[in-house]
Structures are given as C-alpha cells and as structure tokens.
C-alpha cells in the first residue's frame, strides 16, 4: 500500500477532501438516524401507553365480572393497528385472563408473570403494560405488544437515502476539489519548479510569483526574501573576493583575471593593450610618521583621484600597499602617456587629511602589448619602466621600450 506521504499533493488533497467529507457525512447521517429512531420509539411508546390505558379502563368491568368474551373483544379492538401483534389481559393473580393475537404471531405467548406498568423494548417488540383498576384498586393488568418492523423499515429507508446522499455528496466534493485544488497545489508546484531552476542555473535573481495572500503566499514571499538575502550575500562575497575593502577598487585577483582576458583580446583583435604600474613616492614615511589611520585615508584619496584621471577604456586596481595598476584596451602609446600625465596632474594638488596638508607624488611605469606577451612578461616590463621612473627623479613616468 502506497504511504500517504509518498502521494503527490494533488492526490493528497483529493484523499483528504473525500475522507473528511465521508467522515462528516457518515457521522451526521448516523447521528440523525439514531436521533430519529429514538424519537420514533418515544412517540410509539407514548401511543401504545395511551392505547393500553384506554383498554385497561374499558376492561375493568369485564375483568371484575370474569367476562372473558367481552375482555377478548376489548383486546381485539387493538388489532385495528397493524403493528400490534399481541394483547394480553391478566387477573389479580397475574394469570392470563384473555389473549388475542394475529395469525402471524399465533406462536407468541403472553409473558408470565406480567411486568410492572411501563414500556419495554426488547427482541424487536415494544411491550406496553398498564394496570387495570376498579375504584382505585388494582385488579389486573393489560399488555399491548407492538412490532418494531415499521421502525426498522423506516431506518432501512433512511439508510438507503443516506448512502445515496453520501455518494452524490462525494461526487460533488470530488468535482469541486478538481477545480479548487489548483489554487492550492499549483503555487507549490511552481515554487518547486523555481527552486529547481535556481539550483540548475545557480541564478539567485529568479523569483517565484505569489498569486495569493494566504499561507502559501506568505511562504512564497519568505522564499523570495531568502533568495534576495542569498543574492545579496553572494554579491557581498563577490565584492570581498574581487574588490579591495579599503579603496573599493578591484583587487589583485580581479586584476590577474582581467589582464589575462586583455592579452587574449589583444591577440585576437590585433588591438594593443596597455598596462600602467604606479606606486606612491615616500608613502612609507607618511605611514610611519602619521600612523596607519592617516595612511589609510591617503590611500582612499589616491584611489578617488586615480579614478578621476582615467578615460572610459581604463580600469584601476589596487594590488596592495601603495601599489596600483591601470589596464587600458585598444590604446596607443600616445593615449597611455596622456593617461599617465593626467594621473600625475591629479596627484599634484595637496591633500587635506585629518587637518593635515599632505603632498603626494607617484612614479609610473608603462608597458604596451599587441597580445604576444604573457602575464609574467608584460608585468615585468611595466615593473622595469616603474623603476626607471623612480631612478629618474620620481613624480614622472616611463614607457618600457625594451632598452
């Protein structure tokens, strides 16, 4: 037998609706039939009690004079009611004085001795006993036995009708569920599809669509909020992996990847790419004299001025300490030198940091390649040009020429 947990949501909904509907209708039907049976028995007991009382009143004289024919006639009048199968009259000694019964109940004997006045349900019959009194003294009793066949037939009819109603109700519930269940299970299925798509493509920008504001809608909103948090965390991790936290410039890792890409692009496109190395003159002295906090402020200000000096086809990177690089694609030597001059011009203005005026300068080395270099060779060329610039008095630039 397939376990309920293994069923699909659509099937689970149908099972739950049909099961709860069946139980509800079943309990309601049983309760209604049980209550109806109880009320019918009360009504029948009341009717038989009245009949027994009437016969007892009419038979007091016949019993007192021992007139059996008249007593039997009085009892026979009860047989007008089809459900009455037996009527008995007892004398003062609790002996049967008169008896009448239907042919179908000929084998039924009058109970001996009679029971105390009242109504008794047993073995498919209702026995109603009534005392016969004369001048306030009990001289005997009357028994009226009624079959419960009519009540049983009524119960059977109710059972058949209830089963029919149950079947029709379950069919209607099933048809209605087929329509309404889509509003429940389709958003869940869509949510699963979105999760699979995100997992397949590792794209956390995908979002699920909430079509309702119920608990499922809340779950979808929570799912989207989780995706937004994951996406933000992923962006933050990317930023930490590829960007310098102090200057917000791209770091050495991104520089390495971008340099490889720039060389491959230059090799394929026959365009030239340029690499600029620069570091700050006497940065160590400033850092030692004024402290690292001032040194950090200085690096932030340098990063801003460096970016301000660059054209659109250039990208700045911080490799660490006071070392910065610039990558330019599709350039000429003239454009590289123009960029170097713009950087030096930006650094020429003094900086005001923490109430102190600082003058900064930079030495710049430039290398240019048509794509035939590798990462190591072009970086070596730019580094050689940088040291040539430092050796010629600082605050200037040199283009690597191979000499």
- Does residue 164 fall inside a structural domain? no
Let me know whether 303 and 192 are in one domain.
Answer: no
- Does residue 174 fall inside a structural domain? no
- Does residue 137 fall inside a structural domain? yes
Confidence (pLDDT) at 11: 75
- Tell me the two tokens of residue 4: 């309920």
Exactly one of 244, 279, 322, 373 is catalytic; which is it? Answer: 322
Q: If we measure between CA atoms, which residue out of 384, 392, 379, 395 comes closest to residue 282?
A: 395
**Local structure of residue 247 (DSSP, 8 states):** T
Compute the distance between CA of residue 312 and CA of residue 305 in angstroms, rounded to an integer. Answer: 15
Supply the CATH number for residue 268's domain: 3.30.70.270
- Does residue 159 fall inside a structural domain? no
Q: Which residues of 12-32 are buried (b: 16+ CB within 10 A; e: fewer)?
A: ebbeebbeebeeebeeebeee
Let me know whether 224 and 283 are in one domain.
Answer: no
What count of other Cβ atoms lies within 10 Å of the Cβ of residue 176?
Answer: 12
Compute the distance between CA of residue 191 and CA of residue 187 in angstroms, rounded to an integer. Answer: 6
Let me know whether 205 and 341 are in one domain.
Answer: no
Q: Which of 240, 260, 275 is the last residue of a domain?
A: 240
Confidence (pLDDT) at 4: 67
* Number of structural domains in the chain: 3
Let me know whether 394 and 259 are in one domain.
Answer: yes
What count of other Cβ atoms lies within 10 Å of the Cβ of residue 264?
Answer: 12
Let me know whether 221 and 318 are in one domain.
Answer: no
Let me know whether 189 and 292 are in one domain.
Answer: no
Let me know whether 17 and 131 are in one domain.
Answer: yes
- Does residue 162 fall inside a structural domain? no
Helix or strand (DSSP H, E) at 402 = none
Instruction: Report CA torsion sign: 54, 58, 59, 60.
Output: positive
Q: If we measure between CA atoms, which residue out of 269, 243, 270, 247 comes closest to residue 258?
A: 243
Verify whether residue 322 is a known catalytic residue: yes
Q: If we measure between CA atoms, which residue out of 360, 252, 244, 354 comes closest to residue 302?
A: 360
Let me know whether 146 and 72 are in one domain.
Answer: yes
Compute the distance between CA of residue 401 and CA of residue 91 in angstroms, rounded to an integer. Answer: 146
pLDDT digit string (tens) for the chain, length 403 residues: 457 666 677 677 777 778 888 888 888 888 998 999 999 999 999 999 999 999 999 999 999 999 999 999 999 999 989 899 999 999 999 999 999 998 876 678 899 899 999 999 988 899 999 999 988 899 999 999 999 998 999 889 989 998 898 888 888 877 777 777 666 667 777 777 877 887 777 776 777 777 777 767 777 778 788 877 877 777 777 778 889 989 999 999 999 999 999 999 999 888 899 999 998 888 887 877 888 888 888 899 999 999 999 999 999 999 988 899 999 999 999 999 999 999 999 988 888 877 778 888 899 999 999 888 999 999 999 999 999 998 888 789 999 987 6
Compute the distance between CA of residue 227 and CA of residue 71 in angstroms, rounded to an integer. Answer: 95
Confidence (pLDDT) at 183: 67
Confidence (pLDDT) at 219: 77
Let me know whether 294 and 202 are in one domain.
Answer: no
Report the first-to-last Cα separation within the chain, whole angstroms: 86
Let me know whether 308 and 386 are in one domain.
Answer: yes
Supply the CATH number for residue 41's domain: 3.30.450.20
- Does residue 166 fall inside a structural domain? no
Helix or strand (DSSP H, E) at 324 = strand 323-329
Distance (Å) of CA 133 to CA 119, 130, 207, 294: 18, 9, 91, 124
Let me know whether 307 and 379 are in one domain.
Answer: yes
**Local structure of residue 250 (DSSP, 8 states):** B
- Does residue 173 fall inside a structural domain? no
**pTM listed for this prediction:** 0.51
Q: If we measure between CA atoms, which residue out of 364, 368, 386, 389 comes closest to residue 377?
A: 368
Let me know whether 269 and 341 are in one domain.
Answer: yes
Strands (E), 51-203: 84-90, 96-101, 118-122, 125-134, 137-147
In degrees, rounded to 5, the angle at the alpha carbon of residue 163 between the alpha carbons of residues 162 and 166 is: 85
Confidence (pLDDT) at 1: 46
- Residue range of the domain that includes 272: 252-399
- Does residue 172 fall inside a structural domain? no
């Amino acid at each position: 037998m397939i376990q309920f947990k293994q069923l699909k949501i659509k099937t689970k909904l149908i099972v739950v609706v049909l099961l709860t509907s069946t139980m509800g209708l079943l309990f309601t039907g049983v309760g209604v039939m049980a209550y109806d049976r109880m009320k019918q028995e009360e009504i029948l007991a009341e009717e038989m009690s009245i009949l027994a009382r009437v016969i007892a009143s009419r038979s007091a004289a016949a019993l007192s004079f021992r007139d059996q024919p008249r007593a039997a006639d009085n009892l026979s009048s009860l047989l007008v009611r089809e459900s009455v199968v037996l009527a008995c009259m007892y004398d003062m000694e609790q002996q049967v004085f008169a008896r009448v019964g239907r042919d179908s109940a000929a084998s039924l004997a009058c109970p001996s001795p009679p029971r105390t006045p009242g109504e008794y349900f047993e073995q498919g019959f209702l026995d109603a006993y009534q005392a016969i009194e004369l001048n306030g003294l009990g001289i005997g009793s009357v028994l009226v036995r009624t079959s419960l066949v009519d009540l049983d037939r009524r119960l059977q009819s109710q059972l058949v009708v209830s089963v029919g109603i149950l079947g029709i109700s379950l069919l209607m519930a099933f048809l209605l569920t087929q329509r309404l269940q889509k509003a429940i299970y389709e958003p869940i299925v869509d949510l699963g599809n979105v999760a699979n798509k995100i997992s397949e493509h590792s794209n956390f920008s995908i979002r699920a669509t909430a079509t309702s504001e119920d608990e499922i809608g809340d779950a979808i909103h929570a799912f989207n909020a989780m995706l937004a948090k994951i996406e933000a965390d992923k962006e933050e991790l990317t930023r930490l992996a590829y960007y310098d936290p102090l200057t917000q410039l791209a770091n050495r890792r991104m520089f390495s990847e971008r340099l490889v890409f720039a060389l491959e692009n230059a090799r394929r496109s026959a365009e030239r790419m340029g690499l600029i190395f620069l570091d700050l003159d006497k940065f160590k002295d400033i850092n030692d004299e004024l402290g690292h906090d001032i040194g950090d402020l200085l690096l932030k200000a340098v990063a801003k001025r460096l970016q301000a000096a660059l054209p659109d086809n250039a990208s700045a990177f911080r490799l660490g300490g006071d070392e910065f690089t610039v990558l330019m694609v599709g350039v000429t030597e003239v454009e590289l030198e123009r960029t170097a001059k713009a950087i030096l011009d930006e650094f020429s203005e003094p900086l005001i940091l923490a109430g102190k005026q600082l003058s900064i300068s930079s030495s710049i080395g430039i290398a240019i390649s048509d794509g035939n270099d590798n990462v190591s060779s072009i970086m070596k060329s730019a580094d050689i040009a940088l040291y040539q610039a430092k050796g010629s008095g600082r605050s200037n630039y040199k283009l690597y020429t191979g000499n």
